[in-house]
Amino acid sequence: MSSSPDESAPLLDHTDDEQPVTKKRYRRALLGAGAILLLLAGGVIAMVIILTRKNSDRTSPYNEKRFFHDVVKMPNYCDHGSKGYSGYIGLATEDSLEPKRSFFLFSESELSPQDAPLVLTVGGGPGTSGQMRYWNGDGPCRLTETRAELNPYRWTKSFNYLSIDYPVGAGFSHGAIVNSSADAAKEMYDFIQKFYVLFPNMAKNQLVLNGGSYGGMYLPHMANEIVTQNDLQARKKGVPGARHVPLESIMISNPYSDPLSHAVNGVEMNCKKTNPPIWNSTQCEYAYQQLPAMTQYIRTALDIPTLPNKLQAAEFSGEIEEMDLHGVLREDYRKTCNIDQTGENVAPCLPFLARMQTFLRNHSEELGVPDEVVFQAISIEVNDRFWKNGDRQVDVTYRVGMVDLNCPWTGVLGGLLLSNINVAEDFKNAEDIPWPGEESEATVRVVGEGAGDFTYVQLWHAGHFVSYDMPRIEQKLVEHWIKNKPFGSD
Ligand SMILES: *[C@@H]1O[C@H](CO)[C@@H](O)[C@H](O)[C@H]1NC(C)=O
Ligand SMILES: *[C@@H]1O[C@H](CO)[C@@H](O)[C@H](O)[C@H]1NC(C)=O
Ligand SMILES: *[C@@H]1O[C@H](CO)[C@@H](O)[C@H](O)[C@H]1NC(C)=O
């Protein structure tokens, strides 16, 4: 690593592949124990258990000597009350020719960090940095024009907060780029296990997955992977040395989850939900004309998910989605943006994005980032790969046992998204009630006790970047959700 030790006191030593001396001693000690146990009644069983455990330890990839990690203490940029770390974890598929490293920021809770729930946050995109919310709404500091200042609505007052530049290719993460949410989720599981090795106290704390936009694709895939691996691990068929991941719930804002309702609602939104409509009459007429064909292409892609089918659906719906917005900002229709609003081009219309990029490029060294790695707020390469692989036209099924999904959203929740979820009937019958005490700001629809098992929140004054637009409400939301307190209570 480029940073010198006094600038960035490493949390843990560098690793390499050498076999540590302690290993041999350990093995001999265990064999000794086995021989003694053999002499005792029931000793055989005890020995088998011990040898099995030893064996899994020997083959486990989740041993701090067996994966790359370089973590530094994070500077306290805004005089907040939590400890922070940043750095890299090497992922399973890295080899000596091409490192594959996932960058993260981890800020401990100001209150009892040892027991506080862990909120794991990723970005959208695909290809947007997972640090977006950290610096613009959720994290201990928020960036202004000129500096990082204390964020009064920081989630780190009572939660541990982990931001990951996900997948590799986004933000400061670097290495070979995957092209699907499913493959990215496998890498996330690997990351989480390794993170637990470096921060073992976090392994027992409630885990909450948090994200927005394309996170609506990422998070269900991650949850599926975690639930599947937990199940394998419980049956002793998981990755050797893997721990149970205590996933409790998911929070998603303005999700992209279901390609069909996304496409249909997009047309409705631009033609019917605003006054005046975003698209003009020619565009709306065209969009509605194309709707049956678009629906057909998407259904076909979901039913027969071959690459050509997925690409055809993506291109057809993409052409409509990207029609001229006449200078309205896609992420917030109250604002204007008079430039080509695709990919990185949109940065000038989203000043906080540009500010974050400048800040992070300027402070990369003290965050443990090598010289040659340049921060990418939005990685076009990641986006391109997911796009070319038709990842958007993938059916997301919420197979998470407990079905905890929290979804603050300004728009309409697609009916199809819900049809996959076993609370669908209850949810349809529930009402959106004004959030007590915040009547002019938000409504909540709750299925279940407390803050609900499945909860849908609409924030009236937020655009796509909910944390940035309404950080005060967002903080209340997370406090109620994670602690499962009814909305309106303190
Ligand atoms: C609607 O917008 C499109 C795209 O900007 C433009 O080409 C077309 O002339 C407009 N039609 C009307 C009726 O204004
Ligand atoms: C970059 O960081 C240095 C020192 O931390 C600071 O003096 C300078 O103003 C920063 N520049 C920008 C553009 O943030
Ligand atoms: C997706 O990535 C895999 C390798 O991970 C590659 O074999 C495949 O060709 C890629 N698909 C597309 C459409 O780029």
Q: Angle 307-321/281-303 helices, nearest 10 degrees?
A: 160
Locate all alpha helices (DSSP H) within 171-258, ordered by sequence.
Answer: 181-198, 215-234
Window from 126-140, 237-251, 256-270, 339-353 with minimum mean pLDDT: 339-353
Q: What's this model's pTM, rounded to 2 decimal places? A: 0.81
The predicted structure's pLDDT at residue 487: 83
What mean pLDDT comes out for the span 272-298? 92
Is pLDDT of 244 > 90?
Answer: yes
181 vs 95, residue with greater confidence: 181
Name 350's Cβ contacts closer than 8 Å, sequence gap at least 6.
Answer: 329, 331, 465
281 vs 272, residue with greater confidence: 281
What mean pLDDT comes out for the span 410-421? 42
- Cα separation of 367 and 77, whole Å? 11
The predicted structure's pLDDT at residue 57: 61
- Assess whether the C-beta atom of 144 lies below 6 angstroms from ligand 2: no
The predicted structure's pLDDT at residue 422: 59
The predicted structure's pLDDT at residue 486: 87
- Assess whether the C-beta atom of 362 lies below 6 angstroms from ligand 2: yes
Pocket-testing residue among 7, 147, 358, 362, ligand 2, by greatest number of atoms within 8 A of Cβ: 362
DSSP 478: H
> Could you read off the pLDDT of 58-111 as tens digits, one per residue?
688 998 888 999 999 999 999 999 999 999 999 988 777 789 999 999 999 999
Smallest CA separation from ligand 3 atom 12, residue: 389
> Could you read off the pLDDT of 459-484 as tens digits, one per residue?
777 777 777 777 888 888 888 888 88
Name 235's Cβ contacts closer than 8 Å, sequence gap at least 6.
Answer: none
The predicted structure's pLDDT at residue 18: 33
> Could you read off the pLDDT of 100-146 as tens digits, one per residue?
999 999 999 999 999 999 999 999 888 899 999 999 999 999 999 88
The predicted structure's pLDDT at residue 253: 77
216 vs 166, residue with greater confidence: 166
- Assess whether the C-beta atom of 397 lies below 6 angstroms from ligand 2: no
DSSP 257: -
pLDDT-derived band at 296 (thresholds 50, 70, 90) equals very high
Smallest CA separation from ligand 2 atom 9, residue: 146
The predicted structure's pLDDT at residue 392: 78
The predicted structure's pLDDT at residue 303: 87
Is pLDDT of 415 > 70?
Answer: no
pLDDT-derived band at 49 (thresholds 50, 70, 90) equals very low
What mean pLDDT comes out for the span 154-177? 95
Q: How far is the CA of 351 from the centre of ligand 1 (A)?
A: 28
DSSP 357: H
- Assess whether the C-beta atom of 282 lies below 6 angstroms from ligand 1: yes
- Assess whether the C-beta atom of 179 lies below 6 angstroms from ligand 3: yes
Query: CA 298: distance to chain centroid?
Result: 25
Q: How far is the CA of 336 from the centre of ligand 1 (A)?
A: 18
Q: What is the mean pLDDT of the chain?
A: 79
What mean pLDDT comes out for the span 209-234? 88
Is pLDDT of 383 > 80?
Answer: yes
Pocket-testing residue among 271, 280, 284, 285, ligand 1, by greatest number of atoms within 8 A of Cβ: 280
Name 319's Cβ contacts closer than 8 Å, sequence gap at least 6.
Answer: none
Q: What whole-number percentage of the chain has pLDDT above 70? A: 80
Strand partners, 209: 120, 250
241 vs 449, residue with greater confidence: 241
pLDDT-derived band at 152 (thresholds 50, 70, 90) equals very high
Name 474's Cβ contacts closer than 8 Å, sequence gap at least 6.
Answer: 137, 138, 153, 408, 466, 467
